[in-house]
Amino acid sequence: MTFLILVSVGFSFLITAAIVIFFFKFHRKSKDEIGVAIHGDMRLETMWIVIPGFLALIMFGWGAVVYVDYRHAPQDTLDLYVIGKQWMWKVQQPNGRREINEMHIPVDRDVKLVLASEDVIHDFFVPAFRVKMDVVPGHYNTMWFRPTKAGRYHFFCSQYCGTNHAVMGGWVTVMEPSDYAAWLSGSTGENENPVVAGEKLFAEKACSTCHLSNGTGRAPSLNGVYGGTVRLADGSTVTADDAYIRESILDPPAKIVAGYQPVMPAFQGQLTEEQIMSLTAYIKSLQSQPVPATGAGVISAPGKK
């Protein structure tokens, strides 16, 4: 930002000074006077194409580095699930504790937000952290940041989403790790651990009839799948991240695991975003389960997140 401001102010000053100086210095002196015809100068043209071009490349490069880093969350993040809907935010902590229009996180920890929308496009924006990301219905977006100072920080919705777009905001509370742990466990009221909820759903929706954990079922075992590499029927490989899990639930034919038939029914329209998130949380929890020798979903040893 500072670099850009400096360059901008520099050029603005240069041009403005030039204009002002020329404006007064070359003020018409007599009624019939004409100016001196100077048609152009290749050296000048080249110079003022090359120099701005070079500065532009610096601006581009610097911004690109920051952006690429922003788009690739580090490993070992604290993951929160965020659902935007007209006109409120629902936040779910890893242990299931829910918040509305509030988000509690520990300081000095990489935090990743998985964003989903229940209706129109929203955007989760925390000005103090210099981060935002659109929340688009129909797929997940993720964003990450690392708060470095405890405090309370405003967040806003910053993609116009209808009547109460302007009041669809809340507060991020960054706490010392011990305070956060205390807050997290001191929960009251109904907040089911998403892993437990997901496990229940897994049985209810009959996923367990095919996805036997010992690998002998019609579908691959899900032990160790999350975070690992999966080989697909067309020979390609894919990393089993949140988006992959979600797609496999909603649109199974999109990526069939090698060695298996495309028989899984699609759950598009049958699960809410929260249910998908709890199933994902449950499948994630199977990471550390023993991977069967045959019938595993992963092709490499799990556990490397």
- Rule CB under 8 A: is residue 38 a binding residue for another protein? yes
Choose, by CB under 8 A, the member of 88, 107, 128, 256 that binds another protein: 128
Binding mask 129-148 for another protein (x = CB under 8 A): -xxxxx-xxxx-x-------
Among 78, 88, 107, 121, binds another protein (CB under 8 A): 121
Binders of another protein among residues 46 to 105 (CB under 8 A) are: 48-49, 52-53, 56-57, 59-60, 62-68, 70-72, 86
Output the smallest distance, CB 289 to another protein, in A: 28
State which residue, 48 or 204, has the beta carbon closest to another protein: 48
Tell me how many residues contact another protein (CB under 8 A). 86
Among the listed residues 74, 202, 266, 284, the single contact to another protein using CB under 8 A: 266
Pairing of strands 78-85, 122-126: unpaired
Query: Partners of 239 in the beta sheet?
Result: 229
Shortest distance in whole angstroms from residue 34 CB to another protein: 4
Q: How many CA atoms lie within 13 A of 261 on its CB side?
A: 5
Report how far Cα 135 is from the mean position of its chain's Cα atoms.
Answer: 9
| Tokens representing residue 169 in the block | 């905001």
Nearer to another protein, 237 or 270 (CB): 270
Q: Which of 76, 81, 71 is nearest to 281 (CA)?
A: 81
Burial 177-195 (b: 16+ CB within 10 A, else e): eeebeeebeeeeeeeebbb
> Reduced to 3 states, what is the DSSP secondary structure of residue 188?
coil
Whole-number minimum distance, CB 174 to another protein, in Å?
16
Q: Which of residues 183-242 bind another protein (CB under 8 A)?
A: none
Can you tell me the distance from the alpha carbon of 238 to that of 297, in angstroms, rounded to the nearest whole number? 11
